[in-house]
Structure 1
Amino acid sequence: MSVLVATDLDRTMIYSQPAMGEAQFAALDTVCVEIYRDAPLSYMTTTAVQLLAHLADEVPVIPTTTRTPDQYERIALPGGPFRFAVASNGGRILVDGADDPVWRHQIERVVSASGAGLDEVLTELRTRIDDSWVKSLRIADDLFCYLVVEPAAQPHEFLPAWQDWCAAHGWTASQQGRKIYATPRSVTKSAAIAEVRRRLVDDGTIGTDAQLYAAGDGWLDADLLEIADHAIRPRHGELELLGWTTPGLTVTAETGALAGVEILEWLHARCSVRPASDPAHPSARAVGTS
C-alpha cells in the first residue's frame, strides 16, 4: 500500500452547527457524529459520511486532532474503529483506542527539556486575562491549555503579545474561533504522524515510499501540512485568516461542511480509491450504515 492519510477533525471533517452557519446547516442533509451533554454537537454531511467510510476501507486513515482522548472518543467517526489515532495535538498516540504509554513518556521527556512547564505558562497566562472576555481556562491532558473566549470582547493586543511570550519560552499560541491554545512547541501532529508512519512501514502495512496526504484548517495543523507529500486545507478557519500556504497546497473552493466533502473527494481522487459501487469493495455493503 502506497498511501497514508492524516486528517484533522474539527472544522475539517466534522462541524458544529455554528461552524457550518445556519443557512448551510438548514440546507444540507447531515448526520450527527457527536453527542455532548445529551445534545448533538458535531455533524457531517451524509455524503461526507459515505466518503470517509469508503476511504478508510481503502487506505490507512489516521484521525489527527488537538482533542484529548476523552474528547476524541465522543465522536462516532465513519470508517472506525481506527487502528491508529493521534490526539492531544500529538501528545498521545492511540493504538486500537488505547493510549500508547511509550509515546507519552517520550513526549513528557521532550517537553520537560525544551521550554517552560505547564504551571509556569498557566501562571503567566492568568496575569493576562480577565472575566470580561474569557469564559474559561482549561487544561488539556496535563500537557497544554486553552482559553474559551468571547472574540468580540477580546483585546486586540492580547494574542500577539501572548504569542511573543510563548515563542520565547518554547511554546506556541494560536486562535481557532473561540479557543486560544497554548501548546509546547515540541508537541506536534507531524511528529506523532511520523511515528505512526514508521510503525506502519515496519509492520508492512505501507511501503517505504508511501505518500502522506494531510488535511487541516488551523495553525496547529500547519506542521502536518508542511511535511505531507500532498496537503489540502479548507477555505475557512485560522489558516485561511492568516493567508497561510505551503508549496503544493490545495485550498478548497467551498467553505463549511461542503469543504469537508470537497476534501474527501480530493483524497479519493488522489489516493486512487475504487468506486464504492464496485461490488468487490467492502464499503459497497457498509456505506450508509453509520
Structure 2
Amino acid sequence: MTTLVATDLDRTMIYSRAAMGEEQFTTLATVCVEIYRDAPLSYMTQTAVELLTRLAREVVVVPTTTRTPAQYARITLPGSPFRHAVVSNGGRILVNGEDDAEWRAHIDDAVTRAGATLAEVQSELRSRTDDSWVTALRSADDLFCYLVVDPSAQPPEFLEEWQEWCAARGWTASQQGRKIYATPQSVTKSAAIAEVRRRLVADGTLGDSAALYAAGDGWLDTDLLLAADHAIRPRHGELELLGWSTPGLTVTAATGALAGVEILRWFGDRIGLGPLESSAPSGRGRDVGVHAN
C-alpha cells in the first residue's frame, strides 16, 4: 500500500450530540458508535460510517486519539478491527487491540527523563485551582492529566500562566472546551504514528515512500498535522478558535458532523480512490431524518 491515514476521533470523526449541534443532530441520519453508562454518547452520520468503512478497506487507517485504551474500547468504529490504533495521545500503541509493551516502556523512559512527574504536575494544578471553576482533576493512563472546568468561570489568565509553567518543565498545556490537558512533551501522536509507519514499512505493508494523511481538530493534533504529507482539520474546535494553520493545510467548509463527512471525502479524493460516495444518494438529504441509536 502507498497510504497511511491517521485520524483523530472526537470532533473529527465522531461527535457527541452537543459537538454535532442540535440542528445537525435532529436533521441528519446518525449512527451511535459509542455507549457510555448505558446511554448513547457519540455518533457518526450514516454517510460517514459508509465512507470510513470503504476507506479502511482500501488503505491503512490508524485511529489516533487522546482517549485511554478503556475509553477507546467503548467505540464501535466503522472499518474495525484496525490492526493498529494510537491511544493516550501517543502514550500507547494498540496492536490488534492489545497494548504494545515495548512502546509503552519507551514512553515511560522518555517521560522520566523529560522533566516534571505526573504527581508534581497534579500537585501544582491543585495549588492553582479551586472548586469555583474546576469540576474535577483526573489522570489518564498514569501518563497525563486534565481538568474539567466551567469555562465561563475560569480565570482569564489561568491558561497562559499554566502553559508557561508546563513548558519550563517538559510539559504541554492546552484547552479543548471544558477540558484543560497537561501532557508530557515527549508523548505525541506524531511519534507514535512514526513508529507504526516504521513497522508497516519494515513488514512490507507500506512502501518506503508511503504518504501520511492526517486529520484533527485540537492542539494535541498539531504535531500530527505538521508531520503529515497532507493534512486537514475541521472548521470548528480548538484549532479553529485559535485560527491555527500551516502551509498546505486544508480546512473544511462544513462544521460539526458534516465536517467529518467532508474529511473522509477529501481523503478519498487526495489518495486517488475516486469519489468516496456512500451506497445511497449523495447530498445533505442523504443524512436526514433517521437516528440509529
TM-score tier after normalising by the smaller chain length:
over 0.9
8 A contact 2:190–2:227 mirrored in 1: yes
Distance in 2 separating the partners of 1:21 and 1:151:
18
Q: Deviations over 1:102-144 (max 9, x none)?
A: 0000000000001100010011000111111111111000000
Question: Which residue number in structure 1 is paired with residue 40 of structure 2?
Answer: 40
Residue aligned with 2:128, SS:
coil
Q: Deviations over 1:168-188 (max 9, x none)?
A: 110000011111100000100
Distance in 2 separating the partners of 1:231 and 1:101:
29
Residue aligned with 1:85, SS:
strand
Structure 2 residue 93 is the aligned partner of structure 1 residue 90: no
Question: Which residue number in structure 1 is paired with residue 245 of structure 2?
Answer: 245
Distance in 1 separating the partners of 2:135 and 2:278:
50
Which consecutive unaligned segments of at least 5 residues does structure 2 have? 280-292
In structure 2, relative to structure 1, the CA distance for the partners of 1:199 and 1:134 (3 Å cut) is same
Question: Which residue number in structure 1 is paired with residue 8 of structure 2?
Answer: 8
Distance in 2 separating the partners of 1:270 and 1:214:
12
Structure 2 residue 263 is the aligned partner of structure 1 residue 260: no
Q: Specify the code of the residue in structure 2 equivalent to 1:265.
A: R
Distance in 2 separating the partners of 1:36 and 1:30:
17
Question: Which residue number in structure 1 is paired with residue 176 of structure 2?
Answer: 176
Question: Which residue number in structure 1 is paired with residue 134 of structure 2?
Answer: 134
Q: Specify the code of the residue in structure 2 equivalent to 1:50.
A: E
Distance in 2 separating the partners of 1:18 and 1:67:
18
Structure 2 residue 60 is the aligned partner of structure 1 residue 60: yes
Q: How many matched pairs?
A: 281
Q: Deviations over 1:19-49 (max 9, x none)?
A: 0111111111100000000000000000000
8 A contact 2:50–2:278 mirrored in 1: no
TM-score by length of 1: 0.94
CA RMSD of aligned residues (A): 1.7
Residue aligned with 1:152, SS:
coil
Distance in 2 separating the partners of 1:247 and 1:227:
12
TM-score by length of 2: 0.94
Question: Which residue number in structure 1 is paired with residue 160 of structure 2?
Answer: 160
Residue aligned with 2:152, SS:
helix
In structure 2, relative to structure 1, the CA distance for the partners of 1:277 and 1:9 (3 Å cut) is closer
Alignment of structure 1 residues 86-125 onto 2, 5 Å: 86-125=86-125
Distance apart, 1:273 and its partner CA = 2.1
Distance in 2 separating the partners of 1:178 and 1:41:
16
Q: Deviations over 1:200-247 (max 9, x none)?
A: 000000100000000000000000000100000000011111111111
Distance in 1 separating the partners of 2:146 and 2:58:
36
In structure 2, relative to structure 1, the CA distance for the partners of 1:87 and 1:278 (3 Å cut) is closer
Question: Which residue number in structure 1 is paired with residue 151 of structure 2?
Answer: 151
Distance apart, 1:153 and its partner CA = 1.1
Question: Which residue number in structure 2 is paired with residue 232 of structure 1?
Answer: 232
Residue aligned with 2:125, SS:
helix
In structure 2, relative to structure 1, the CA distance for the partners of 1:232 and 1:154 (3 Å cut) is same
